[in-house]
Structure 1
């Protein structure tokens, strides 16, 4: 249990370098989210999910056809679109970690309140990183707070309150799959709404929708988030007290 809390706190960058306990540091991140949880819709944004890929039928041509019904994975510092096992719902390549995360308020006093998105990047301990859009390349990447804070960290959201809703950034589904190498497709965001012409150059690109698939039970446990608590650990009285849930 201690390993899980340490991993979560350090990877999210919520623990101060001075004598602040790990539990307190994680609770500060939870407290930031509680400020936004004025309604049930915000609270459901902390449900854990994988990300599946949908491509409109008219765009399922050539190489792009293989991306439809794929899954988002994290490796080599980027988010990728890969084949999904239809029986397990996990990546065909078992060495690649599927996105397994949720929405969480990004802790930064120097910017307006922003809804970020986090994912586990390892299973044991269940390390969480922030998802961000690189300022220069517009590729979707992941890092701890210090590695993500200079980039576009939000606001992430979804298109509806259904479990299979699509992910948005800045209220728009502007995601593109770009073929980085033969058969290897990375996830980008069309920040300038120009098809990433200057960035991708002669690389093939296709518009994709990112469909949120809520996960439960053993599927959650396998990829680093347990059933107990939205952050993947059992909330203690100390966490509840700091985060404002327990006024007693």
Structure 2
């Protein structure tokens, strides 16, 4: 019995040391994640080989996300002067608990460039950007990343779609008016919130994608 007590006494410092080391490792990992989440990023669309047609994949895969001056988010390899490269990331949002990073923001092409909220329009299922009044009543998160920290999620999953509207849609005509389209291969960023195809208008093209984070240049 005495020997057992002696052995247990000798083990206590080791156990305490292991616990402190584990806590130190966890703290380092949490600090690393917090730092990584605060880094600005660009977004790149990725399309799997079994999604869409070959032509659609060629237009969408590895295309970057851009901020249109009309308040919408676009995916293209042929940006126009009416677009600015998405440049933002996770940010604290008042709709979520304190110290959260569940919101998402981007720097816009406004004069002067301004940090604006990214949100899902609950009526059209299109991703948009704007000030706090613009985002009210819409889905502002929670945004997060996948387990490998490579891609973006919204409301816990990756329901992203690259969408091209039919030419007779008024929103398509607005692209032309803003010189966003003009013969370019331009797709809009949507989110299939209810996993039902996002209620796209007849004649639309929709391709499932992932949104990869790429660290923004300084």
TM-score for both structures, normalised by structure 1: 0.62
Give the CA deviation at 1:112: 5.1
Give the CA deviation at 1:169: 0.4
The answer for unaligned runs of 5 or more in structure 2 is: 1-29, 168-184
Q: 2:157 aligns with which of 172, 175, 179?
A: 172
Larger Rg: 2
Aligned length: 168
Q: Is the 8 A contact 1:60 1:68 kept in 2?
A: no
Give the CA deviation at 1:126: 2.6
Note the aligned Cα RMSD (angstroms).
2.1
> What is the distance in 2 between the residues matched to 1:60 and 1:150?
32
Deviations 1:49-97 (A, max 9, x none): 00011000122524412111100011121111111xxxxxxx6435410
Q: 1:71 aligns with which of 64, 67, 70?
A: 64
Give the CA deviation at 1:176: 0.6
2:92 maps to what in 1? 105
Question: Where do 4+ consecutive residues of structure 1 move more than 4 Å?
Answer: 111-114
2:141 maps to what in 1? 154
> What is the distance in 2 between the residues matched to 1:141 and 1:132?
5
The answer for unaligned runs of 5 or more in structure 1 is: 1-37, 84-90, 218-248
Q: Partner of 1:64: helix, strand, or coil?
A: helix
1:126 maps to what in 2? 113
